[in-house]
């Protein structure tokens, strides 16, 4: 049974079923509450399970407990962003060439969704922060959501958007916790000090051999170059034999695989980076 009225359509028109919708959202909030330890009534407007082609899946929560996200252990308004889960998320990921964003260049698809997300949630965020003076704003996400979280934290801090929305929010601490973030940002050289300051409270985490934090237009172009070079250096007999370990890989091919020379210029294909001062790489180590 589909429990969400948001997924029910007839000839392209949604059927409004407020009772079903309310019941579905209530159940989802109770499930989320059990996982995150926040009261269900403090979870605000989670996006419907079906998602939206241009709006990232997310929820807002008011965590009234002393948190571990700041030295002062202050409570926080939390914005959590979902990773790739639907076709709309894949669409965001696939728009991987860069576009102007916040004193630099950013992953076009994720930057577009970040801008739209802020327009959608800013009134709620401002209202909650005003209703809870002294609270931090914590932005977190995984994968696609982590990339958007990093960009949104940059945008809010570098452009002073909370203070512009309401001067009483000028001193709100904004912190970002990005789990498996893709490389999504490159700042202009003359803006580096400004943007470095905006990244200070962004913390990136990589787990084991997760490939997402290394995936960008630049890395895809490099893989394509390696495939072409290796293909040109082998033949239909040697290649398969090397692949199954029946023939030694030549030094020439090893050099091509590990070639780190710069790629030919391609428009909007800059080498982007995770928008954080450093990344914490969590790996299992045998001691």
d(CA 167, CA 86): 38
pTM: 0.83
Average pLDDT, the chain: 86
Q: The tokens 């180590």 sit on which residue?
A: 285
Q: State the pLDDT at residue 285.
A: 82
Mark out the alpha helices in the chain (DSSP H runs): 18-36, 87-94, 108-131, 144-158, 161-165, 192-199, 217-233, 238-243, 251-257
Q: Using an 8 Å Cβ cutoff, are 137 and 62 in contact?
A: no
Provide the token pair at 88: 């709309």
User: What pLDDT digit, counting tens, does each position of 204-255 carry?
Assistant: 999 998 989 998 888 889 989 999 998 998 888 988 899 899 999 999 999 9
Give residue 18's pLDDT band: very low, low, confident or very high (50, 70, 90).
low
User: What pLDDT digit, counting tens, does each position of 33-89 carry?
Assistant: 898 889 899 998 888 765 566 788 899 999 988 877 777 888 999 999 988 766 656
């Amino acid at each position: 049974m589909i429990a969400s009225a948001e997924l029910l359509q007839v000839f392209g028109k949604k059927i409004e079923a407020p009772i079903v919708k309310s019941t579905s959202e209530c159940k989802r909030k109770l499930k989320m509450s059990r996982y995150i330890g926040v009261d269900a009534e403090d979870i605000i407007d989670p996006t419907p399970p079906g998602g939206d082609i241009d709006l990232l899946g997310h929820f807002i929560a008011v965590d009234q407990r002393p948190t571990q996200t700041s030295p002062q252990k202050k409570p926080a308004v939390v914005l959590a962003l979902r990773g790739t889960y639907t076709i709309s998320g894949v669409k965001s990921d696939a728009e991987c060439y860069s576009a102007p964003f916040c004193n630099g260049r950013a992953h076009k698809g994720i930057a577009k969704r970040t801008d739209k997300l802020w327009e959608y949630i800013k009134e709620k965020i401002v209202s909650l922060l005003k209703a809870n003076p002294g609270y931090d704003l914590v932005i977190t996400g995984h994968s696609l959501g982590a990339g958007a979280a990093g960009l949104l934290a940059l945008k809010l801090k570098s452009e002073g958007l909370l203070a512009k929305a309401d001067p009483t929010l000028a001193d709100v601490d904004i912190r970002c916790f990005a789990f498996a973030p893709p490389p999504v940002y490159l700042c202009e050289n003359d803006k580096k000090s400004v943007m470095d300051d905006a990244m200070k409270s962004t913390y990136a985490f990589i787990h084991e051999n997760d490939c997402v934090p290394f995936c960008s237009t630049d890395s895809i172009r490099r893989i394509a170059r390696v495939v072409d070079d290796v293909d040109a250096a082998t033949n239909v007999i040697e290649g398969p034999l090397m692949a199954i370990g029946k023939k030694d890989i030549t030094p020439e091919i090893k050099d091509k695989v590990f070639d780190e020379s710069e790629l030919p210029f391609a428009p909007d294909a800059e080498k982007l980076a995770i928008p954080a001062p450093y990344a914490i790489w969590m790996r299992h180590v045998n001691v």
